[in-house]
Chain A
Amino acid sequence: MAELADGQLPQECPGSSSAQAGRAAACQGCPNQGICAAGAAAPDPAEAAALRARLRAVRHAVLVLSGKGGVGKSTFSALLALGLAADQAKQVALLDIDICGPSIPRMMGLDGEQVHQSGSGWSPVYVEENLGVMSVGFLLSSPDDAVIWRGPKKNGLIKQFLRDVDWGEVDYLIIDTPPGTSDEHLSIVQYLSAAHVAGAVIVTTPQEVSLQDVRKEINFCHKVKLPIIGVVENMSGFICPKCKNESQIFPPTTGGAEKMCQNLNVSLLGKVPLDPQIGKSCDKGQSFLSEAPDSPATSSYRNIIQRIQEYCDQRNFQEEKIIYERNKNVVHV
């Protein structure tokens, strides 16, 4: 495998496109300080224009976040994309920016697929006519390949995903993120500023160890002014297939997502119970919604997906109303 060395950055480099570029305490002594402070290291205007052009074609961008790992972000992202794409009239795109742990290809049954390049850019891998997918997983030649990259390189790839992938006209761009509040999250919010970001869906499990990370994620959203569509509580109870009694495997000792949402004034979009079929479907790359249409988990997912759609439509309606009002007041001479 060819290896590229990264540029030498000061230990605390805030990032050349950050608002702190050249101005942070860590910048003193860095040979690039002058360049960054002058804004010359900011995103290339041509690049920024290319990003804007691509993202203009996206009607609603939805980020799926957590803070905590393993709560079901990728599972939810995959099912959200599949659920939205059930309407053949809608064009859906699923972008996986978890560079170290890309789960989306397997979940969508696209293991081993490759990305092709043409004059108009990188072509996403299509599951259905109206559902395209992109992930670093498609760029790796072996399932054992590890992407051992520091932040700046991950950011570079995320930018390429947004700038170079030829999604075409898209109704919904679903973005699956890794856990945390770090480079990938800062970067995606920054790069998406040119797009219509509907907002973030935050996934959690009921127990406090998850909620404590999710509160941080909600805080992050407020800080970067990312609207929160709502919270999904996943793995919310398990019904034993034999005796049908419910067990709380991940007990909501501090009131679960419901209490947290009340305290923080965010919407609870729904609760999804544990169903062993979910894991199996993900492993096999099949849609759980199709494989187990009668599962209580399926109806939970469908309700949540519908609420997200309604949120996006409502937002769309409000924006169009603003434009209409604005145009009404223009005097034509």
Chain B
Amino acid sequence: MAPGLAGGPGLAPAGGSAESTGPGTGPPVSPGRYPGSTSLRGSVSPLPGSPSPPPPPPIPGPSAVTVGGGADEVRHERSNLAGVRHILLVLSGKGGVGKSTISTELALSLRHSGKKVGILDVDLCGPSIPRMFRVQDNSVHQCDSGWVPVFVDQDKSISLMSIGFLLENPDDAVVWRGPKKNALIKQFVADVAWGDLDFLIVDTPPGTSDEHISTVEALRPYQLLGAILVTTPQAVSVGDVRRELTFCKKMNLRVLGIVENMSGFVCPHCSECTNIFSKGGGEELAKHAGVPFLGCVPLDPQLSQSLEEGRDFIQEFPKSSAFPALAHIAQQILDGTSQQSS
């Protein structure tokens, strides 16, 4: 007899509704007042079983009605996501395909089109976003509405939130089981004072597990535009992204399209193009699944270098082979949102 997940030794993929998350954002912690604008650096302990960072104090005044108290607070005041026009998730299923890279480059492209963008990094074990903007040493502060996101520059046109800002030591491994990760994600969604944004991009870790279920459930009441799925061309990657497509279907999450990243490398010495990670898998998957194909982004060491050093690739390398592809993806997102509002 073959054991199988559909009936063998009692295991089944939870294909349908996501597993229950239950109420609460964490253990009851008295909100208290934080003197001035206290930094939250070090408020998160990477050890398993330790409490979540304290929730920010509620807004004073008659409009702030908290029901229940303790871990079951329900805020009736204006939600921190009320000013965000569109939320989009960047997913894969496969690790290392360029989710954080695409999230970063998409944010930069949208900024260059005059939009205000936020990035929420829910990869709690491997937070890559802070370094890509060279703000890994910045801290998150509290204000009356909640946690202040980290601004990338004086213009405040790009703001970020990541667990990377909350750890005392960047080399600390965040060794948390699912429930603790879920609690922090809920806090990230409820307690970050984003203000007015055109786009909030949510960068996710690979997989279809706790972080993904919790993020989608927490964002469901808000202006969730949909998800962009990133893959590299080869079959091993596409194989995982197919499962991510199923995840999106099960969670009723609209798929805005698929991006095929690391699609070809043009040798800077002789201009020969080599398909290091194969070619075409992403486009085929999009066709097979009936979702839009947003484009191929080639491998460009200048792009890797910019990300390493936290520089603005869009500004510095408009002649790069990756630039037109990234700009095109951003344009399709913008076109999608203007169609939605018309």
1/0 contact string of A282-306 vs chain B (CB within 8 Å): 1100000000000000000000000
Complex contact A242–B267 (CB within 8 A): yes
A300 to B20, CA, bound (A): 47
Complex contact A181–B175 (CB within 8 A): yes
- Which residues of A175-200 have CB atoms within 8 Å of chain B's CB atoms? 178-183, 185-186
Q: Is B244 among interface residues, defined by CB-CB distance under 8 A?
A: yes
Complex contact A181–B179 (CB within 8 A): no
Complex contact B236–A283 (CB within 8 A): yes
A238 to B213, CA, bound (A): 38
A6 to B178, CA, bound (A): 13
Complex contact B14–A3 (CB within 8 A): yes
- Which residues of B227-249 have CB atoms within 8 Å of chain A's CB atoms? 232, 234-236, 239-240, 242-247
Complex contact B49–A14 (CB within 8 A): yes
Complex contact A276–B175 (CB within 8 A): no
Known: A106-B239, A207-B304. A238 touches B15 (CB 8 A): no
Contact pick for B172, options A20, A164, A216, A249, CB 8 Å:
A216
Complex contact B175–A18 (CB within 8 A): no
Q: Is A120 among interface residues, defined by CB-CB distance under 8 A?
A: no
Chain B: CB-nearest residue to A67: B126
Complex contact B236–A74 (CB within 8 A): yes
Chain A binding surface, main DSSP class = loop
A283 to B235, CA, bound (A): 5
Q: Is A45 among interface residues, defined by CB-CB distance under 8 A?
A: no
Complex contact A10–B95 (CB within 8 A): no
Complex contact A183–B15 (CB within 8 A): no
Stretch from A55-63, A79-87, A138-146 forming part of the interface with B: A138-146
- Which residues of B177-220 have CB atoms within 8 Å of chain A's CB atoms? 177-183, 205-210, 212-213
Q: Is B125 among interface residues, defined by CB-CB distance under 8 A?
A: yes
Known: A69-B95, A143-B239. A151 touches B51 (CB 8 A): no
Chain B binding surface, main DSSP class = loop
Complex contact B177–A15 (CB within 8 A): yes
Contact pick for B173, options A18, A117, A156, A181, CB 8 Å:
A181
Complex contact B278–A242 (CB within 8 A): no
A247 to B305, CA, bound (A): 12
1/0 contact string of B140-180 vs chain A (CB within 8 Å): 00000000000000000000000000000011111111111
Known: A12-B180, A26-B51. A67 touches B125 (CB 8 A): yes
Q: List the A side residues contacting B276 at CB < 8 Å.
A: 238, 249, 274, 276, 279
Complex contact B243–A24 (CB within 8 A): no
Q: How many A-B residue pairs have C-beta atoms within 8 angstroms? Tell me.
A: 330
Complex contact A251–B209 (CB within 8 A): no
Complex contact B236–A106 (CB within 8 A): yes
Complex contact A141–B270 (CB within 8 A): no
Complex contact B132–A209 (CB within 8 A): yes
Complex contact A251–B96 (CB within 8 A): no
Complex contact B209–A18 (CB within 8 A): no
Chain B: CB-nearest residue to A75: B236
Q: Is B13 among interface residues, defined by CB-CB distance under 8 A?
A: yes
A223 to B47, CA, bound (A): 10
A140 to B207, CA, bound (A): 16
Q: Is A28 among interface residues, defined by CB-CB distance under 8 A?
A: yes
Known: A101-B243, A141-B6, A180-B126. A4 touches B14 (CB 8 A): yes
Q: List the A side residues contacting B309 at CB < 8 Å.
A: 253
Complex contact B308–A209 (CB within 8 A): yes
A176 to B13, CA, bound (A): 21
- Which residues of B294-326 have CB atoms within 8 Å of chain A's CB atoms? 299, 301, 304-305, 307-309
Q: Is A331 among interface residues, defined by CB-CB distance under 8 A?
A: no
Q: Is A147 among interface residues, defined by CB-CB distance under 8 A?
A: yes
1/0 contact string of A244-271 vs chain B (CB within 8 Å): 0101111101100000000000000000
Chain A: CB-nearest residue to B288: A144
Chain B: CB-nearest residue to A155: B177
A154 to B270, CA, bound (A): 48
Q: Is A31 among interface residues, defined by CB-CB distance under 8 A?
A: no
Complex contact B126–A151 (CB within 8 A): no
Complex contact B175–A3 (CB within 8 A): no
Chain A: CB-nearest residue to B20: A8
Complex contact B235–A2 (CB within 8 A): no
Complex contact A9–B270 (CB within 8 A): no
Known: A71-B96, A101-B243, A148-B247. A247 touches B173 (CB 8 A): no
Complex contact A282–B234 (CB within 8 A): yes
Known: A150-B213, A243-B272. A107 touches B236 (CB 8 A): yes
Contact pick for B246, options A13, A145, A254, CB 8 Å:
A145
Chain B: CB-nearest residue to A111: B239
Complex contact B95–A101 (CB within 8 A): yes
Measured between C-beta atoms, what is the minimum distance from B292 to chain A in Å?
18
A65 to B329, CA, bound (A): 33
Contact pick for B95, options A28, A68, A241, CB 8 Å:
A68
1/0 contact string of B4-39 vs chain A (CB within 8 Å): 111111111111101111111111000000000000
A–B Cβ pairs within 8 angstroms, 5 of them: A144-B243, A147-B208, A209-B128, A247-B265, A247-B301
List the interface of chain A (C-beta within 8 A of B).
1-6, 8-15, 18, 20, 23-26, 28, 67-71, 74, 99-101, 103, 106-107, 114-117, 122, 136, 139-141, 143-154, 156-157, 160, 164, 178-183, 185-186, 205, 207-209, 212-213, 215-217, 219-220, 223, 238, 240-243, 245, 247-251, 253-254, 274, 276, 279-280, 282-283
Q: Which 4 A-B pairs have the closest CB atoms?
A: A70-B96, A69-B95, A151-B178, A20-B49
8 new A-B contacts, CB < 8 A, other than A140-B5, A144-B245, are A14-B180, A69-B97, A106-B235, A139-B8, A140-B13, A148-B18, A160-B11, A223-B173
